[in-house]
Amino acid sequence: MKNIITLSILALLTLGSCTDVGENVYDKYAAEDFYGSAEGSDAALASVYAQLPGNWGGVGYAGADNGWYDLNSMSSDEQVIPHRNTGDWQLDFARLYQREWLPNDGINSNAWNWLYRSVFLANLAIEQLELANAEQSKIAEARVLRAFFYYLLMDDYGNIPFFTENNLPADQIQQVSRPEVFAFIESELKANLEDLPTTKGGNYYGRFNKWAGYTLLAKLYLNAEVYTGTPKWQECLDAISVIEQGGFSLHTSANDSSLPLGSKYYELFGDVLPDDETILAIFTTVDVVGRNIFMIRSLGGTDGTLLAGAGAWNGSVVPQEYVEKFADNDIRKRQFRYGPDPSGPQPAGFIEYALELDNLDNPGADRNAGARNTKFWTALPANGGGSSNDFPIYRYADVLLMKAECLVRLGDAASAKPFIDQVRQRAGLSGLPSAPTLEQIYDERGFELTWEAHRRQDMIRFGTFTQERYLVPAVGDHFKLFPIPTSALNTNPNLTQNPGW
């Protein structure tokens, strides 16, 4: 993990010196020599990876607020920050859950800007590495990173501005259809995945190795019918068969009284995520490399000091309808904190949260209404700005459930049963009594992947995203895409807004 920090700092120093290149002894040949070296190629990549940890201002994939994670997670049914009847919290988060967002909303614009900043930096890294004839695995890694960001853009916005070189002004970039972006991502992945290293952990903790790259390809195929109208279930299974060569397994859920929630399962969401199950993670050290606010943002103020050792924000809650789907003996239900006998420590003076939540915006929820989530139990160092929990982008439990889903969709539910049963049994539940249905797989994905930024995509694929949900009526299909931000439309006359906005 120290290597990741070193690379990030080196990248910042490299980028910070770019304006002086023409004034000092460096020229393009020296730059090419640098980016062709192991040190230089890692610096080019680190400038792109530095975009993943969450930070203030809507930056990052996950860990902070007002960005991509909130846009995708709070628009689903798994979490919301209600406006409080005490006057706390902006309405933006409740409006995401209520599906009342608008093209000029700040969280939507933040996500868009972050993703395009990341594409720009990935393009730059690819150019630097290719001009320097860098090691092919490093060029492949940069190309897969760019494909990852375009995948997120296509998933959220559909038809998007597309560029692979940073030589066009914003008002000249053309909008490309979702199927065309899909084809580009598929082509880039298929052309580069075999050049990625198979190393797990060490210098490749938090980086795209071969296994993470094939997981991205499997995700692309899993949602192909949404993106292009043509399902690719078998292609998803083919990608998963490669991931299975990586030697992954489910992490243990053995009891451990030294852990706050009493099970080693929650090591998957702590600091230095176990590489038996983790395929791709975001490295975090608060105030150094990103931050993870999820438990601190959820707990009430005094609970922050009692449970997390840091100030808390009394923000995110889990809707009652979502919590009540979990079986009481499911280890994963321990993440939800509510009632007089909550899971985890119960120090004197802890807050008793009500499971019920009867209002989101007018006049808002009571101060202690709503179950809280402690899945990312605070890893030190921590403070009122977050903790140091790393974040799993991809892990093997997700892959097993993807495999089960594809088999059911291809008409082989009997073969799917062992894969969903592995996940259930790790959670302390019995296997299913018969072959799984799609509804059972959908529910299991919700149980297993809560607050890991997969729910919106799953809901769209399973056809539930626009349906009525807890406290919120059904909406039209145009909500399956976020609107292109008003600022982007004002900048680029080539863009056409998504239908319905």
Question: Residues of the chain with pLDDT > 90: what percent?
Answer: 93
First to last CA, the chain: 44
Express each pLDDT in 370-393 by its tens digit. 999 999 999 999 999 999 999 999
Cα 201 from chain centroid?
Answer: 19
According to the model, what pLDDT value does residue 9 have? 32
Q: Rounded to an integer, what distance in angstroms lies between the CA atom of residue 304 and that of residue 489?
A: 41
The predicted model scores a pTM of: 0.94
Q: Is the pLDDT of residue 6 over 70?
A: no
Which residues, at least 6 apart from 312, have a Cβ–Cβ distance to it below 8 Å? Answer: 295, 296, 297, 298, 299, 300, 301, 302, 303, 304, 305, 384
Contact present, 226 and 156 (Cβ < 8 Å): no
**pLDDT score of 85:** 96
Q: Angle at Cα 64 formed by Cα 72 and Cα 327, nearest 5°?
A: 60
Torsional sign, CA 98, 99, 103, 105: positive
Taking the alpha carbons of 458, 463, 465, 470 in that order, is the dihedral positive or negative?
A: negative
**Tens digit of pLDDT for each residue in 63-117?**
999 999 999 999 999 999 999 999 999 999 999 999 999 999 999 999 999 999 9
Average pLDDT, the chain: 94
- pLDDT band of residue 33 (cuts 50, 70, 90) is confident
C-alpha distances in angstroms, 277 versus 241, 243, 248? Answer: 16, 11, 6
Question: What contacts 58, CB < 8 A, 6 or more positions away?
Answer: 64, 65, 66, 67, 68, 106, 107, 109, 110, 111, 113, 114
Please say whether the structural domain 1-177 has been given the CATH code 1.10.3080.10.
no
Per-domain boundaries in the chain: 1-177, 284-389
pLDDT digits (tens, 9 = 90+) for 167-181: 999 999 999 999 999
pLDDT tens digit string along 251-277?
A: 999 999 999 999 999 999 999 999 999
